[in-house]
Amino acid sequence: MTGPRVAVRAILGAVLIVALPAFAAAAATPDSGPRESQACLDCHDDMEAALHGGPHMVLVGGEDSRVSCTDCHSGTASHWEDDPEEYPMANPAKMGVADAANVCMACHFSPHVENQATLSPHAADGVTCLDCHQVHGGSAPASLHGEQTELCLSCHIVQRGEFAKPFAHPVDGGVITCADCHLQDENQMAPLTMQGSSAVCLQCHGEFQGPFPYDHQAAVDYSVEEGGCLNCHDPHGSYQPMLLKQPYEAPHYQLCSQCHVVPLHNYNTQHGSEWAGVSCSECHTDIHGSYTSRNYLTTALEAQGCFAAGCHSR
């Protein structure tokens, strides 16, 4: 493993060495150019109030600023010198999804914005950046039009119903937000981590990440069984405790029995019918993966001699 470590450090070092002089030079030399924002506000005087306190406010009127009104609203000087009706400026609010995203991406170059211009389901549905974000003003984080959860659920009506279920992630109390799970790895392709979509869950539920000496294939995203957290859990809300998709306890065991056909648990020559009707979870406690038992059995069974050689030995 020493090779990759050295390579990583060398590349990062090289990047920093190249970057630092550029950083110093840029800090000392502002990138200036003709700015037209004050001229815009002379006529569009209502915009001054809209921009007040917002993240884009500081960018108008600054002579040394790299961004001004005309960076988003492109056009020609004829608009303010001749006839504004005859020479209209571009308006991102009236552009298509990808074109609007490209305007934003000129400054906000991030996987989220980039994805909006290419693969995002939002883009496919005609939802533009401006449908969620206020460009001119706004005090909410990320300049959203409202509280994030309420904003998302105003369109995602099925999810509103799911969050109302008895067991749900606490978006209602604001403990987590939609974007804590969604929009996390929006690079145009699949996640980079080996947990796949489960990587989002493991941000908070890190104790289940593994690797475990005895992995449960249903919980491992890269397994040929194509597992992952979403195999067993409904992330928005569920009728079952622990956000389980199906019952895990008596009288229903569907969560386990849909994959595991284990008739010996109902009757076998060693135990008779002792385990019939007993919830799977009574013995298989470490179902996300175990450090000790290939059957994810609880160590409490050790006292009963269950792990003896020839029986359920580890």
**What residues numbered 134-153 form the site for another protein, per CB under 8 A?**
139, 141
CB 210 within 8 A of CB 287: no
> Which range binds another protein by CB under 8 A, 70-78, 79-87, 208-216, 269-277?
208-216
CB 178 within 8 A of CB 152: yes
CB 260 within 8 A of CB 185: no
Binding mask 268-307 for another protein (x = CB under 8 A): -----------x-xxx-xx---xxxx----xxxx------
311 binds another protein (CB under 8 A): no
CB 165 within 8 A of CB 240: no
Task: Give the DSSP H/E element, type plus range, for residue 163.
Answer: helix 157-163
Q: Which of residues 216-235 bind another protein (CB under 8 A)?
A: 217, 222-226
Q: Least distance in Å: CB of 76 to another protein?
A: 23
Q: Least distance in Å: CB of 240 to another protein?
A: 9
Task: Give 74 or 203: the residue with its C-beta nearer to another protein.
Answer: 203
DSSP 8-state symbol, 48: H
3 binds another protein (CB under 8 A): no
SS (H, E, C) 237-297: EECCHHHECCCCCCCCCHHHHCCCCCHHHCCECCCECCCCCCCHHHCCCCCCEECCCCCCC
Burial class, 45, CB count within 10 angstroms (exposed 0-12 / middle 13-18 / buried 19+): exposed
4 binds another protein (CB under 8 A): yes
Q: 251 preceded by cis ω (within 30°)?
A: yes
10 binds another protein (CB under 8 A): no
Binding mask 11-40 for another protein (x = CB under 8 A): xx--x---x--xxxxxx--xx---------
For another protein, the binding residue among 157, 305, 309, 310 (CB under 8 A) is 157
Q: Which of residues 232-271 bind another protein (CB under 8 A)?
A: 239, 241-242, 246-247, 252-254, 257-261
Q: Least distance in Å: CB of 303 to another protein?
A: 11
Radius of gyration of the chain (CA): 28
114 binds another protein (CB under 8 A): yes
95 binds another protein (CB under 8 A): no
